[in-house]
Amino acid sequence: MKTRSITAIFIAAVYVGTILLSIYVNEIFFDIFVLMIAIGAGLEMCRALAKKFSPAVDLFVVLYVFFGYIAFYFVEKYLSEGMGLAGYFGVLAIMIAICFLYCGASKTKTIRNAMSTLLAMIYPVTILAYMLGVNYFYMQYRVNAILLIFIVSCLTDTFAYFVGSLLKGPKLCPKISPKKTVSGAIGGLLGGIGGAMLVFIFARYELLNTALLVSGTAINIVHFLMLGLLGAVFTQIGDLVASYLKRRCGIKDYGNILPGHGGVLDRIDGMMLNAVVIYIYMSFLII
């Protein structure tokens, strides 16, 4: 428990540092954070798949992260604002084609290796691209989105853990994640909503360079409630998806870089799906 607590403090410090640097210094710090976790999580997925399936080609996953970001940044800054993800997805299509050609022509690789590589490029790397996307929203949307990604995800996990441990009760998905309970899931929803309302309070009083999303306090409350609820739901879905893949791969954790917490992917599995929800929801608000 002591080791887990120390690691949790370290993770919290990284999160807070990333938030403050990206808000008050330069948005590039958030990009760097996303690229680092994309590489770490991508390589962890490659190692996990190798336990039970044909190994992925690690190099293609790493190259996809770098070239995907270059394409994203170029499109976002110089071609069409708000269309950076199109550049990232374009690189994905190119990397998939090259990977399948390489594995098909190789004497040591097969199409199965290409399929494993494809999965690692999509989950988690492509999903994490949505975290890059929110970093290029208009200012008030950008800061709100970053705070929602971290706060909603963290409070969802925290409330789910403590409420589930306290109340226990029926299991949520025993075949996928035996420890998760229905009470924990409900606690997670309340935590996510509470996290979103905390961000609303920041926005209401313009703290941390935040601002209300639209005109009118009541409608803002509705939007933040929805962002908290949806974010909490998808944070927990992300956790279940990661647990399912771990079971298929026959592993307990994706890594051990974070003592007591597992690997990078173990910590951001829910956060990255939350980011997808926030990106899509706020994109409609911007339009």
**Residue 4's pLDDT band (cuts 50, 70, 90):** confident
pLDDT digits (tens, 9 = 90+) for 154-186: 999 999 999 999 998 999 998 898 889 999 999
Question: Would you call 249 exposed, middle or buried from its count of C-beta atoms within 10 A (0-12, 13-18, 19+)?
Answer: middle
Residue-range domain boundaries for the chain? 1-23+139-287, 28-135
pTM: 0.94
Confidence check: pLDDT of 286 > 80? no
Question: What pLDDT does residue 1 have?
Answer: 63
DSSP code string of 7-32: HHHHHHHHHHHHHHHHHHT-THHHHH
- The CATH architecture of the domain made up of 1-23+139-287 is Orthogonal Bundle (1.10)
Question: What pLDDT does residue 178 have?
Answer: 87
Question: What pLDDT does residue 130 have?
Answer: 97
Question: What pLDDT does residue 14 have?
Answer: 95
CB 161 within 8 A of CB 235: no
Question: What pLDDT does residue 175 have?
Answer: 87
Question: What pLDDT does residue 5 have?
Answer: 83
pLDDT digits (tens, 9 = 90+) for 62-119: 999 999 999 999 999 999 888 999 999 999 999 999 999 999 999 999 999 999 999 9
Q: Which residue has the tokens 């992260």?
A: 65
Question: What pLDDT does residue 179 have?
Answer: 87
Q: Three-state DSSP class for 263?
A: coil
Q: Which residue has the tokens 């409330």?
A: 159
Question: What pLDDT does residue 3 have?
Answer: 81
CB contact set of 18 (below 8 Å; sequence gap of 6+) = 29, 30, 33
Give the integer Cα–Cα distance in Å for 141 and 227.
Answer: 12
Mean pLDDT throughout 211-233? 95
**Residue 287's pLDDT band (cuts 50, 70, 90):** low
Residue 181's beta-bridge partner residues?
A: 171
Minimal CA–CA distance to 29: which of 123, 131, 125, 121?
Answer: 131
